Amino acid sequence: MSSQPIPQAPQKRPTSVLVIEIIGYVGVAFWVIMTLRAFLTGSSSAWMVLLLALVLGSAHVVIAVGARRRMRIAIAAMWFVLVSDSLLTIFVDVKALALVLATVALLLLARSARTWWN
C-alpha cells in the first residue's frame, strides 16, 4: 500500500471575496467611463482624469485579481483607494463620498473573509 497524501479539495471562495472581485472590476469600469466622459466632453482636466484613472483603475485591478488569488496586497490596495477617494471627496467633489462608502464596504467584506487572506 502506498503512502501518498490524500489530495485536498480546493477551498471554496467565500461569497464576500467574490463580491470584492466584482466591485474591483466595477471600479475599473468606472474609471474607464470617467476618462471617456472627460475626453468626449472636452474637459480641460481630461489629462488629469486620465492620470487619476490609471492610478486608481490599476488599484482596482489589484483588488479584483488579488482577491481571487488570495494576495494580501489587495487589502493594501483597498486602503490606498480609501485614502484616495477620501481626498477626492475633500478636494474635488462631495459626490465622491459614494466611492468612499463603497471602499468601506470592500474593507468590511475583506474583514468578514479574513480566513481567506491567511
Residue 64: per-residue pLDDT = 95
Any long-range contacts for 12-20 (C-beta under 8 Å, 24+ apart)?
Answer: 13/68, 13/116, 14/112, 14/113, 14/116, 16/109, 16/110, 16/112, 16/113, 17/67, 17/68, 17/109, 17/113, 17/116, 19/109, 20/63, 20/64, 20/67, 20/74, 20/106, 20/109, 20/110, 20/113
Please report, for the chain, the start and end positions of each structural domain, with discontinuous segments joined by +: 15-117
Residue 7: per-residue pLDDT = 62
Answer yes or no: pTM beyond 0.85: no
Residue 26: per-residue pLDDT = 94
Residue 2: per-residue pLDDT = 60
Residue 38: per-residue pLDDT = 95
What cell was used for 10? 480546493
User: For 25-50, how does the pLDDT look when each residue is reduced to its tens digit (9 = 90+)?
Assistant: 999 999 999 999 999 999 999 999 99
Question: What's the average pLDDT block by block, 10 residues per block, for the chain (118 residues)?
Answer: 63 86 94 96 94 96 93 93 94 90 92 78
Residue 113: per-residue pLDDT = 82
